[in-house]
Amino acid sequence: MTTTSKPQVSRRTLLKSAVTAGAALVVGFEVPQIAKADPAKAAVNPFRAWVRIDRAGQVTLISARSEMGQGISSALPMILAEELGVDWKDVRVEQALTDPTLYGDQGTGGSGSVAGSWTPLRQAGAAARVMLIGAAAERWKVSPADCTVRNGYVHHQSDKIAYGDLVESASKRPIPDLATVPLKSPRDFQIVGKPMPRKDIPLKTDGSAQFGIDVRLPGMLYAVVERCPVFGGKVKSFDATKAKALPGVRDVFEIPAVPEGVHSWGGVAVVANTTWIAMQARKQLRIDWDYGPHATESSESLRRQFRRIVDSPCKVVFNTGDADAAISGSPAEKKVEADYELPFQAHATMEPMNCTVHVKPDGAEVWAPAQGPDWVNGVVAQATGLTPDKVKVHTTYMGGGFGRRYQADFAVEAAQIGKKMTGTPVQLVWSREDDMTHDFYRPASYHRVSGAIDSQGNILAWKHRSTSTSIADWWDRKSPPESSELGCTLQMPYIAKNYKLEYLPAQSGVPRAWWRSVEASSIGFVMESYMDELAHAAGADPYEFRIAKLGDGRKIGNPLNPKDTALEADRMKGVLKLAASKAGWGSPLAAGQGRGIACHFSFNSYAANVAEVTVSQGAVKVNRIVSAVDIGIAVNPEGVRAQVESAIVYGLTAALKSQITIQDGRAVESNFNKFPTLAMNETPRLEVYIVPSEVAPTGIGEPGLPPVAPAVMNAIFAATGKRIRRLPVIPSDLV
């Protein structure tokens, strides 16, 4: 059960002893990012989350991370319980309120919740265990080394004392150095690595889980906002006479755009007694729009721009050897050149954007289904003119995140409306149409890859020139536009003698940002499709070709960001081998069927997929996907499997069915009738296998996605000889 509260401990007391709160033992975790960035600040803000053990022995984990279906409400207690020596299901998880001074970055994303919590949670659990053992050993006058812990008790021979009875004396003991506190060996794990049920699931079977859109407060009103259909447009003037005349409408007013940092569009807000009345009144608005500078943009105009860009040399981002010379010196039959295209994609979370705000003269309370509640805190403070400490943000369950809920545009709109309605709680609800036509989309991109193989089947040259509607270009012009777009091309896993990367951004008014697996969703498709093309050009089996080109014992760092974790080619081979063996790679298939393989490294995790498809009469049916992942230790294997299944289906929808097209500067697809998703009867048999590991966990919310589209397209090629280079697949590509 997730509840909201703040640890009952004053920061001053905490700083003195780091362990206090009278009746409770409280242990915090360090915030390494803050410590690194600013040692002085780290001394003021030593902790990001807390473990509290009270006199009744109740263990509470106050977590700054959000639950969006990725299963952290079980995975995090499992990690803590393992080191602390308690039953994991007795660990209560409380959702922390936002407080940047206490928790640092509270964002949930980048597949980082478990990976980022692993070491601090273990250290906190181990530190508390050491203190509890110390207190018990002192009472018994025995050596701590002779004591053990189990299920909330410290044991010594036949004696045992419950943690709750030790809390008072334990809390007076010095807190061990977290960096050197003894941690369990993975071989001794009793909880981590076992498939455990998710704590939030029962609440999601009877309608009782409260999502952001389910928040109900006494006297609450509902609001919708009419935004300009054209990206970047704004209100010139409006007439709300008819809208205001509808019974139940409480107010109609304009809210301004907040371009800086948030990219909210502004528009005309309608506040009413119910969501439905607000939606109906909105239809009665007469708005004269200034469509702005992007009103003629279309997917076709963008495509023309993309092709113009890649027809000429672009900025060289990375270069080793001389790929151009190697290609031009190769005979035609050894050269492969291919263009790949990917469209904008909407997140289309099942719960549309929404946010509830109650602004009072001296403070504001916010209920936000948000991946970045600390960001919400900041933007609400700014929009209401309050200081951040006067803004209390409750993070609710989220009906899907996938990166969309990392934004704060919906929160700033709610705050603007809430401020106008000061004293009355207001829930801002986006309609599905609002959500789909005002998303921050996965960038559209265009890639021209050329290369050559030599007579022994080695990759002689690989040159990847690409352009896209860069995320960095949109959000943060301080970073080069390519910084958000290149992904694993900067950690080329395969041995290529000459390798060159070129990039230039395209100009577009379409908002874009982080969509599940971000640039890896596009880069994975391009690299793994091209790798397949090279394998076929070399007359090699696509699986064997990959294994051979990964070499032995290779570690590939990121030349532009040397601090990035190196790609270990042997781990990539590990997932390829596991997926291929479980899928029966090489075994015969029926006529019209094909099998394809692909792998990718993202979020420091390794994933490989084998897809089996049937193609007939211009339709593709994916029958089976076998996936293997190496994510280090799988804390909750059942949660890991669920995340990979989810990433596969999300990736299949984007590969086979959905896209956002642009016409007249606006998104064409506005609801699920135009943005089809993979239905149950189209969902293949999904099998997920996990490579056993004893290294620290890495992310799994996203890494299963990038190898989906290329595995399927490679399977289509195996079945039909048709190479699909533009997503999503359309029937005419298959006949």
**Contact range with other proteins by CB under 8 A, out of 299-307, 524-532, 574-582, 640-648:** 640-648
- State how beta strands 685-690 and 619-630 pair: parallel
**Contact range with other proteins by CB under 8 A, out of 146-154, 317-325, 346-354, 500-508:** 346-354
List, in order, residues 6 or more apart from 97 with CB less than 8 Å away: 4, 5, 6, 392, 393, 394
Please give the distance of CA 156 from its chain centroid, rounded to a whole number. 45
Contacts with other proteins by CB under 8 A: the residue count is 71
CB of 308 to other proteins, least distance (A): 35
Q: CA-CA distance, 522 to 540, in Å (whole number)?
A: 25
Q: CA-CA distance, 519 to 482, in Å (whole number)?
A: 10
CB of 579 to other proteins, least distance (A): 18
**What x-and-dash track marks residues 647-666 binding other proteins by CB under 8 A?**
xxxx----------------
Closer residue to other proteins (CB): 214 or 702: 214
Q: CA-CA distance, 499 to 483, in Å (whole number)?
A: 18
The residue with tokens 């390519």 is: 482
Assess 697 for contact with other proteins (CB under 8 A): no
The residue with tokens 């929009």 is: 383
Closer residue to other proteins (CB): 212 or 574: 212
Residues 88-107 within binding reach of other proteins (CB under 8 A): 88-89
Q: What single string gives the DSSP state of each residue in 104-120?
A: S-----TT-HHHHHHHH
Q: CA-CA distance, 184 to 426, in Å (whole number)?
A: 49
CB atoms within 10 A of CB 228: 24
Is 658 strand, coil or helix? coil
**Contact range with other proteins by CB under 8 A, out of 171-179, 489-497, 525-533, 644-652:** 644-652
Closer residue to other proteins (CB): 11 or 89: 89
Q: What is the largest CA-CA distance in the chain?
A: 83
**What x-and-dash track marks residues 292-331 binding other proteins by CB under 8 A?**
----------------------------------------
**Contact range with other proteins by CB under 8 A, out of 35-43, 45-53, 64-72, 357-365:** 64-72
The residue with tokens 């807000």 is: 269
- In 490-632, where do the E strands start and end? 496-505, 555-556, 567-568, 593-602, 605-616, 619-630
CB of 5 to other proteins, least distance (A): 22
Residues 547-606 within binding reach of other proteins (CB under 8 A): none
CA dihedral over 83, 88, 94, 98, signed as positive or negative: positive
Tokens of 600: 């990718």
CB 463 within 8 A of CB 450: yes
**Contact range with other proteins by CB under 8 A, out of 428-436, 480-488, 551-559, 593-601:** 428-436
Assess 628 for contact with other proteins (CB under 8 A): no
CB of 343 to other proteins, least distance (A): 18
Closer residue to other proteins (CB): 488 or 654: 654
**Contact range with other proteins by CB under 8 A, out of 136-144, 176-184, 344-352, 604-612:** 344-352
What are 366's strand-pairing partners? 357, 393
CB of 105 to other proteins, least distance (A): 22
- State how beta strands 91-96 and 59-63 pair: parallel
Q: Which of 41, 638, 661, 734 binds other proteins (CB under 8 A)?
A: 638
ω into residue 728 within 30 of 0, thus cis? yes
Q: Edge-to-edge strands of the sheet including 426-429?
A: 249-255, 267-272, 221-226, 426-429, 354-360, 363-368, 391-395
CB 706 within 8 A of CB 491: no
Instruction: Name the nearest CA neighbour of 59 among 98, 85, 96.
Output: 85
- State how beta strands 391-395 and 354-360 pair: unpaired
Assess 690 for contact with other proteins (CB under 8 A): no
Tokens of 208: 């009782």
Closer residue to other proteins (CB): 43 or 201: 201
CB of 600 to other proteins, least distance (A): 18
Q: CA-CA distance, 636 to 642, in Å (whole number)?
A: 10
Q: Which of 16, 236, 242, 685 binds other proteins (CB under 8 A)?
A: 685
Tokens of 586: 């090489």
Q: Which of 84, 235, 270, 348 binds other proteins (CB under 8 A)?
A: 348
**Contact range with other proteins by CB under 8 A, out of 177-185, 568-576, 578-586, 674-682:** 674-682
**Contact range with other proteins by CB under 8 A, out of 129-137, 163-171, 251-259, 643-651:** 643-651
Closer residue to other proteins (CB): 248 or 480: 248
Is 234 strand, coil or helix? strand
Closer residue to other proteins (CB): 207 or 361: 207
Backbone angles phi, psi at 697, to 5 degrees: -65, 145
CB 701 within 8 A of CB 602: no
CB of 359 to other proteins, least distance (A): 21
Tokens of 700: 């799994």
CB of 538 to other proteins, least distance (A): 35
Q: Which of 14, 84, 678, 690 binds other proteins (CB under 8 A)?
A: 678
Residues 258-277 within binding reach of other proteins (CB under 8 A): 273-277
CB of 57 to other proteins, least distance (A): 19
CB of 649 to other proteins, least distance (A): 3
How many secondary structure helices (H) and strands (E) does the chain include?
A: 20, 30
Closer residue to other proteins (CB): 430 or 462: 430
Q: At what angle do helices 72-84 and 113-140 cross, to 10 degrees?
A: 30
Closer residue to other proteins (CB): 200 or 409: 200
Q: CA-CA distance, 22 to 8, in Å (whole number)?
A: 10
CB 634 within 8 A of CB 697: yes
Residues 216-255 within binding reach of other proteins (CB under 8 A): 216, 222, 247
State the distance between the two ends of the chain, measured CA to CA, in whole angstroms: 52
- State how beta strands 593-602 and 662-663 pair: unpaired
**What x-and-dash track marks residues 355-394 binding other proteins by CB under 8 A?**
----------------------------------------
Closer residue to other proteins (CB): 688 or 729: 688
Closer residue to other proteins (CB): 197 or 586: 197
- State how beta strands 335-342 and 267-272 pair: unpaired
Assess 693 for contact with other proteins (CB under 8 A): no
Angle, CA 113 vertex, CA 397 and CA 82 arms, to 5°: 105
CB of 295 to other proteins, least distance (A): 27
**What x-and-dash track marks residues 169-208 binding other proteins by CB under 8 A?**
----------------------x--xxxxxxxxxxxxxxx
> Left, alpha or beta for 372 (phi > 0: left; psi -120 to 50: alpha)?
beta
Q: Which of 45, 95, 330, 349 binds other proteins (CB under 8 A)?
A: 349
**Contact range with other proteins by CB under 8 A, out of 143-151, 181-189, 476-484, 634-642:** 634-642
Closer residue to other proteins (CB): 276 or 296: 276
Q: Which of 82, 99, 214, 702 binds other proteins (CB under 8 A)?
A: 214
Assess 699 for contact with other proteins (CB under 8 A): no
